[in-house]
Amino acid sequence: MRILAFFSAAALMLAQLGHAAPQAVSEDGANKLDGEWELVRFKYGAASVQSLSNARREIKLISGKHFVWVVYDTKKHKPISVGGGTCSRQGDQYTEQVEFGDIRTSTILGRPQLFHITTDGHNWRHSGVLSDGLSIEEIWRRVE
């Protein structure tokens, strides 16, 4: 129930913040990132590519120039990690600036995180090196 309340509050906040803001779109207006995304595969650092287990879910909400994410335990119904901030896109370059988050964001808070992205409508792949030196590759799927 707390997770539902968090998502509801986050969605309302993003709707208000992004109401008048331009959407995160490519220069030609295609491949909008606005909406709800679920992380399906990831690789952090030298680890091998992994899929999320059934016990964990990670959701990212994008509205205009703002984003929030939550990672939560699906069995205990408790958040594991949360954060958010501003985002922008120029062609295949996507930037996030984390403006708030839990202790896990302390090494990247307030610094731009630059990614190379590709999208195909339902899938969003991004890769880059975070400002703290961690290389990441993530594959997100649009939640319909």
Summarised one tens digit per residue, pLDDT across range 28-57 is 444 489 999 999 999 999 888 888 888 999
Q: Is 24 within 8 Å of 64 (Cβ atoms)?
A: yes
Low-confidence ranges of the chain (pLDDT < 70): 1-31
Q: In the prediction, which pLDDT does 70 show?
A: 97
In which element (H, E) is residue 36 found? strand 35-44
How far CA 75 is from CA of 20, 55, 140, in Å, comes to 37, 6, 22
Determine the residue type at 112.
P
The predicted pLDDT at position 17 comes to: 42
Could you give the angle at the alpha carbon of 26 between the alpha carbons of 71 and 89, nearest 5°?
Answer: 50
pLDDT at 2: 53
**Bridge partners, residue 21, by sequence:** none
Split into its structural domains, the chain has a count of 1
- Domain residues for the domain of 10 are 2-142
Q: Compute the distance between CA of residue 5 and CA of residue 57 in angstroms, rounded to an integer.
A: 16
Q: Helix or strand or coil: residue 131? A: coil
**Residue 88 belongs to a domain with what CATH number?**
2.40.128.280
